Amino acid sequence: MLTLNRKSRGSQDFHRNRFLLLYFCAIVLLLLTNSEEAKAGELVHGKFLSSSGKLIQLQITTGTPPPSHIIVSLEIPPGVEVNRTQPDAQKIRIKKGKIKWLLKNVQSGSQTFSVELSKAIKPSVSFAIVRYRDPATGNYIKTLITP
Protein backbone atom coordinates (compact mmCIF):
# COMPACT_ATOMS: atom_id res chain seq x y z
CA MET A 1 0.00 0.00 0.00
CA LEU A 2 1.26 3.40 -1.03
CA THR A 3 0.86 6.18 1.46
CA LEU A 4 1.51 9.79 0.72
CA ASN A 5 2.87 12.08 3.26
CA ARG A 6 1.42 15.51 3.72
CA LYS A 7 4.18 17.24 1.72
CA SER A 8 3.75 15.12 -1.43
CA ARG A 9 -0.06 15.41 -1.31
CA GLY A 10 0.27 19.21 -1.18
CA SER A 11 2.64 19.06 -4.13
CA GLN A 12 0.11 17.03 -6.13
CA ASP A 13 -2.65 19.55 -5.34
CA PHE A 14 -0.37 22.38 -6.43
CA HIS A 15 0.42 20.70 -9.77
CA ARG A 16 -3.22 19.74 -10.36
CA ASN A 17 -4.38 23.33 -9.67
CA ARG A 18 -1.64 24.70 -11.91
CA PHE A 19 -2.69 22.32 -14.69
CA LEU A 20 -6.35 23.33 -14.33
CA LEU A 21 -5.43 27.01 -14.43
CA LEU A 22 -3.35 26.55 -17.60
CA TYR A 23 -6.12 24.48 -19.17
CA PHE A 24 -8.71 27.19 -18.36
CA CYS A 25 -6.45 29.93 -19.80
CA ALA A 26 -5.94 27.92 -23.00
CA ILE A 27 -9.71 27.53 -23.47
CA VAL A 28 -10.33 31.23 -22.88
CA LEU A 29 -7.59 32.15 -25.35
CA LEU A 30 -9.04 29.78 -27.94
CA LEU A 31 -12.52 31.28 -27.53
CA LEU A 32 -11.19 34.83 -27.87
CA THR A 33 -9.21 33.93 -30.97
CA ASN A 34 -12.23 32.33 -32.64
CA SER A 35 -14.34 35.35 -31.73
CA GLU A 36 -11.87 37.74 -33.40
CA GLU A 37 -11.66 35.51 -36.48
CA ALA A 38 -15.43 35.56 -36.74
CA LYS A 39 -15.47 39.36 -36.68
CA ALA A 40 -12.66 39.60 -39.23
CA GLY A 41 -14.31 36.94 -41.39
CA GLU A 42 -17.75 38.59 -41.64
CA LEU A 43 -18.99 38.48 -45.20
CA VAL A 44 -20.67 41.89 -44.99
CA HIS A 45 -19.82 44.61 -42.52
CA GLY A 46 -20.27 48.35 -42.33
CA LYS A 47 -19.41 51.56 -40.58
CA PHE A 48 -20.75 55.08 -40.38
CA LEU A 49 -18.57 57.63 -42.14
CA SER A 50 -20.89 60.38 -40.85
CA SER A 51 -23.71 59.87 -38.38
CA SER A 52 -24.73 63.36 -37.31
CA GLY A 53 -25.80 66.60 -38.91
CA LYS A 54 -27.78 66.76 -42.14
CA LEU A 55 -25.60 64.28 -44.09
CA ILE A 56 -25.52 60.64 -43.00
CA GLN A 57 -23.03 58.35 -44.74
CA LEU A 58 -22.78 54.60 -44.29
CA GLN A 59 -20.13 52.40 -45.91
CA ILE A 60 -20.90 48.71 -46.51
CA THR A 61 -18.06 46.34 -47.42
CA THR A 62 -18.74 42.95 -48.97
CA GLY A 63 -16.32 40.02 -48.96
CA THR A 64 -15.91 37.09 -51.34
CA PRO A 65 -18.08 35.39 -52.41
CA PRO A 66 -20.68 38.12 -52.03
CA PRO A 67 -24.29 37.32 -51.19
CA SER A 68 -26.69 37.70 -54.11
CA HIS A 69 -28.90 40.22 -52.26
CA ILE A 70 -28.33 42.63 -49.38
CA ILE A 71 -30.95 44.71 -47.57
CA VAL A 72 -29.63 47.89 -45.94
CA SER A 73 -32.00 49.62 -43.52
CA LEU A 74 -31.10 52.99 -42.00
CA GLU A 75 -33.05 54.16 -38.96
CA ILE A 76 -33.37 57.89 -38.27
CA PRO A 77 -35.69 59.84 -35.96
CA PRO A 78 -39.33 59.57 -37.09
CA GLY A 79 -40.65 62.63 -38.89
CA VAL A 80 -37.30 63.87 -40.25
CA GLU A 81 -37.70 64.66 -43.95
CA VAL A 82 -35.29 63.08 -46.45
CA ASN A 83 -34.11 65.48 -49.18
CA ARG A 84 -32.21 62.88 -51.23
CA THR A 85 -30.47 59.51 -51.05
CA GLN A 86 -27.53 58.15 -52.99
CA PRO A 87 -28.00 55.54 -54.37
CA ASP A 88 -31.76 55.95 -54.65
CA ALA A 89 -33.54 54.20 -51.77
CA GLN A 90 -36.28 51.68 -52.58
CA LYS A 91 -38.37 52.69 -49.57
CA ILE A 92 -38.51 55.81 -47.40
CA ARG A 93 -40.94 55.91 -44.47
CA ILE A 94 -40.72 59.35 -42.92
CA LYS A 95 -43.30 58.64 -40.20
CA LYS A 96 -41.37 55.57 -39.03
CA GLY A 97 -37.90 56.98 -39.73
CA LYS A 98 -36.83 54.10 -42.01
CA ILE A 99 -34.86 54.18 -45.24
CA LYS A 100 -34.25 50.92 -47.14
CA TRP A 101 -32.09 49.83 -50.03
CA LEU A 102 -32.28 46.45 -51.74
CA LEU A 103 -29.03 45.54 -53.46
CA LYS A 104 -29.20 42.87 -56.18
CA ASN A 105 -26.32 41.15 -57.98
CA VAL A 106 -23.88 42.37 -55.34
CA GLN A 107 -20.17 42.59 -56.14
CA SER A 108 -17.31 42.33 -53.64
CA GLY A 109 -15.98 45.67 -52.38
CA SER A 110 -17.30 48.80 -50.70
CA GLN A 111 -20.32 50.95 -51.37
CA THR A 112 -21.28 54.21 -49.68
CA PHE A 113 -24.89 55.16 -48.90
CA SER A 114 -25.64 58.84 -48.38
CA VAL A 115 -28.76 60.46 -46.99
CA GLU A 116 -29.35 64.21 -46.96
CA LEU A 117 -31.83 65.20 -44.26
CA SER A 118 -33.97 68.30 -43.84
CA LYS A 119 -32.61 68.95 -40.35
CA ALA A 120 -29.56 67.92 -38.36
CA ILE A 121 -29.68 64.87 -36.11
CA LYS A 122 -27.49 63.65 -33.26
CA PRO A 123 -25.22 60.62 -33.84
CA SER A 124 -26.82 58.62 -31.04
CA VAL A 125 -30.25 58.49 -32.72
CA SER A 126 -29.34 56.65 -35.93
CA PHE A 127 -28.30 53.07 -36.66
CA ALA A 128 -28.34 50.63 -39.56
CA ILE A 129 -29.23 46.99 -40.02
CA VAL A 130 -27.72 44.91 -42.83
CA ARG A 131 -29.42 41.63 -43.76
CA TYR A 132 -28.32 38.94 -46.19
CA ARG A 133 -28.13 35.19 -46.70
CA ASP A 134 -24.65 33.65 -46.42
CA PRO A 135 -23.99 31.95 -49.78
CA ALA A 136 -21.78 29.26 -48.18
CA THR A 137 -24.16 28.14 -45.41
CA GLY A 138 -27.56 29.51 -46.43
CA ASN A 139 -27.91 31.09 -42.98
CA TYR A 140 -29.77 34.39 -42.71
CA ILE A 141 -27.44 37.01 -41.21
CA LYS A 142 -28.56 40.26 -39.57
CA THR A 143 -25.89 42.78 -38.55
CA LEU A 144 -26.40 45.92 -36.46
CA ILE A 145 -24.21 48.93 -37.28
CA THR A 146 -23.99 51.76 -34.78
CA PRO A 147 -22.16 55.10 -35.00
pTM: 0.70
**Judgement on whether residues 51 and 83 belong to the same structural domain of the protein:** yes
Cis preceding linkage at 65, omega within 30: yes
d(CA 70, CA 134): 10
Domain that holds residue 94: 44-145
**Judgement on whether residues 56 and 95 belong to the same structural domain of the protein:** yes
- What is the count of structural domains for the chain? 2
**Judgement on whether residues 36 and 74 belong to the same structural domain of the protein:** no
**Given this model, what pLDDT does residue 30 score?**
45
Residue 25 clears pLDDT 70, i.e. is over it: no
**Judgement on whether residues 13 and 50 belong to the same structural domain of the protein:** no
Partnered with residue 133 across adjacent β-strands are 140
**Judgement on whether residues 131 and 65 belong to the same structural domain of the protein:** yes
Partnered with residue 53 across adjacent β-strands are 121
**Given this model, what pLDDT does residue 124 score?**
85
Name, in order, each residue with C-beta under 8 angstroms of 141's C-beta and a sequence gap of 6 or more: 43, 44, 131, 132, 133, 134
The 10s digit of each residue's pLDDT in 64-117 is: 899 999 999 999 999 999 999 999 999 999 999 999 999 999 999 999 999 999
Q: Which of 9-13, 69-73, 135-139 is predicted least confidently?
A: 9-13
The 10s digit of each residue's pLDDT in 49-66 is: 999 999 999 999 999 899
3-class DSSP state of 117: strand
d(CA 113, CA 101): 9
Main-chain dihedrals φ then ψ at residue 139, nearest 5 degrees: -70, 140
**Given this model, what pLDDT does residue 81 score?**
95
